[in-house]
Amino acid sequence: MKLLVTGGAGFIGSNFVRHILGQHPDWQVTNLDKLTYAGNLENLADIQAQAGYRFVKGDIAGRDLVDGILKEGYDAVVNFAAESHVDRSILDASPFVDTNFKGAQVLLEGARVHGVGRFLQVSTDEVYGSSEEGYFTEESPLDPSSPYSASKAAADLMCLAYHRTHSLDVVVTRCTNNYGPYQFPEKLIPLVITNALEDKAIPVYGDGLYRRDWIHVLDHCRALEAVLLKGKAGRVYNIAGGQEQPNIELIKLILKALRKPEGLITFVKDRPAHDRRYAIDCSRIEKELGWAPRFNIGNGMADTVDWYLKNGPWWRNIKSGEYEKYYQRMYGSR
Ligand code: NAD
Ligand code: DAU
């Protein structure tokens, strides 16, 4: 299979490229990535020389570039490329519209014109909004709260519209919160691990009782592979780890694993429009495609903590660069 993966230098995309080339060494993968602050070629240092892998630096919203690539003929596009951080979308929503919505449409149009066999849009459970109880199914209405989730919801709708209007073979996945190797340390879990390792304060938004359902990134990658190979065109698939936790409990679990004091926990101002709880029903992918997560929060977190312990240069390099300026803008100097 010949795949165009976008955003493959980011957290989930790089894990996916590694997973796919490991499972299917005969596949060809082109990775198109703009290398924003979140894109890092070090994430794929072990893959870069592998036969069948090619990296192209560029913007998914660049019509001519996308056209030139898709002209080569692809069996599938897997679209990870996005601005992915809710807090940044509150500071400035415009790159979220440009990449998450406009970029997705440029890719869809290129896929349509050049007869791409399948378009997999990697989306998020955040498009359903918050629910204090129960679980959203794929039929639940979209009710996004942040500029990030609104841009993802808009892209989902555009993908489904290309399926209905142009019969493009589109599948959309909506996954819960990922964690694991190579996650940029602006997101909760790598932020907690790396701040704790540096004995720095751990910022907890609001009362810390917000709930998320955590999935190990490799379980997400296996689910995406299943949808890519066996998903039904025009269908949405929820993907969940089934490991719901209040943030404060998760943070305490990490501190315990690292033998660091709970005194590092610092309650800070809440995120505007902070969704109280995300929870989705993923019985469709389990029943139709035979997928189930393999990690639980215990062994998944042990694997993740171990990776950050062993890869200090990777995250220290990130935290000493541009990221530090962003962090200080968010939380002030430490
Ligand atoms: P990330 O921020 O780590 O990586 C995003 C990647 O996209 C980076 O490599 C970046 O350089 C690239 N990119 C950004 N704008 C681009 C553009 N215009 N053109 C080309 N490349 C561009 O994000 P992630 O956490 O790996 O998320 C990947 C996808 O999965 C996103 O679409 C996100 O919405 C979705 N998702 C993430 C989670 C999660 O918990 N992280 C959960 C569900 C869904
Ligand atoms: O649900 C899937 C989504 O999960 C993805 O679509 C997003 O790309 C991804 O960023 C993630 O969004 P969240 O907003 O849930 O993730 P984040 O890691 O930013 O925050 C997780 C929870 O922790 C949330 O309730 C906010 C809280 N938090 C976060 C940070 C960064 C804190 O309390 N302190 C922090 O410093």
Average pLDDT rounded to a whole number, residues 47-61: 97
238-253 pLDDT, tens digit per residue, is: 999 999 999 999 999 9
Residue type, 143: D
- Whether 125 is catalytic: yes
Q: In this model, does residue 141 exceed pLDDT 50?
A: yes
Residue 264 DSSP class: G
176-212 pLDDT, tens digit per residue, is: 999 999 999 999 999 999 999 999 999 999 999 999 9
Q: In 180-292, which residue ranges form alpha helices assigned H by DSSP? A: 188-197, 217-230, 247-257, 283-289
Average pLDDT rounded to a whole number, residues 60-84: 98
Return the ligand number nearest the Cα of 81. Answer: 1
- Whether 169 is catalytic: no
Average pLDDT rounded to a whole number, residues 94-102: 98
pLDDT band at 308 (very low <50, low <70, confident <90, very high): very high
213 lines ligand 2 (CB under 6 A): no
Query: For the chain, which residues make up each domain, given as ranges?
Result: 2-178+214-239
Q: In this model, does residue 329 exceed pLDDT 70?
A: no
Question: pTM for this one?
Answer: 0.97
Neighbouring CB atoms inside 10 A of 139's CB total 8
Among 4, 6, 12, the mutation site with the greatest number of ligand 1 atoms within 8 A of its Cβ is 12
- Given a contact cutoff of 8 angstroms between Cβ atoms, the answer to whether 53 and 31 are in contact is yes
- Helix 104-113 with 63-70: angle, nearest 10 deg: 40
Q: What share of the chain is helix, strand, coil (3-state, %, to 5)?
A: 45, 20, 35
Supply 9's token pair.
């230098």
Q: Which of 53, 74, 128, 148 is catalytic?
A: 148
Q: Which of 125, 213, 219, 225 is catalytic?
A: 125
Q: In this model, does residue 117 exceed pLDDT 80?
A: yes
Supply 206's token pair.
């609001």
Q: State the Cα–Cα distance between residues 156 and 170, nearest whole angstrom.
A: 10
Which own/partner contact pairs does 128-131 have at CB distance under 8 Å and 24+ positions apart? 128/174, 128/278, 128/280, 129/275, 130/275, 130/276, 130/277, 130/278, 131/277, 131/278, 131/279
CA 226, chain centre distance (Å): 17
Q: The domain 2-178+214-239: what is its CATH number?
A: 3.40.50.720
- Whether 148 is catalytic: yes
- pLDDT value at residue 185: 97
Higher-pLDDT residue of 53, 326: 53
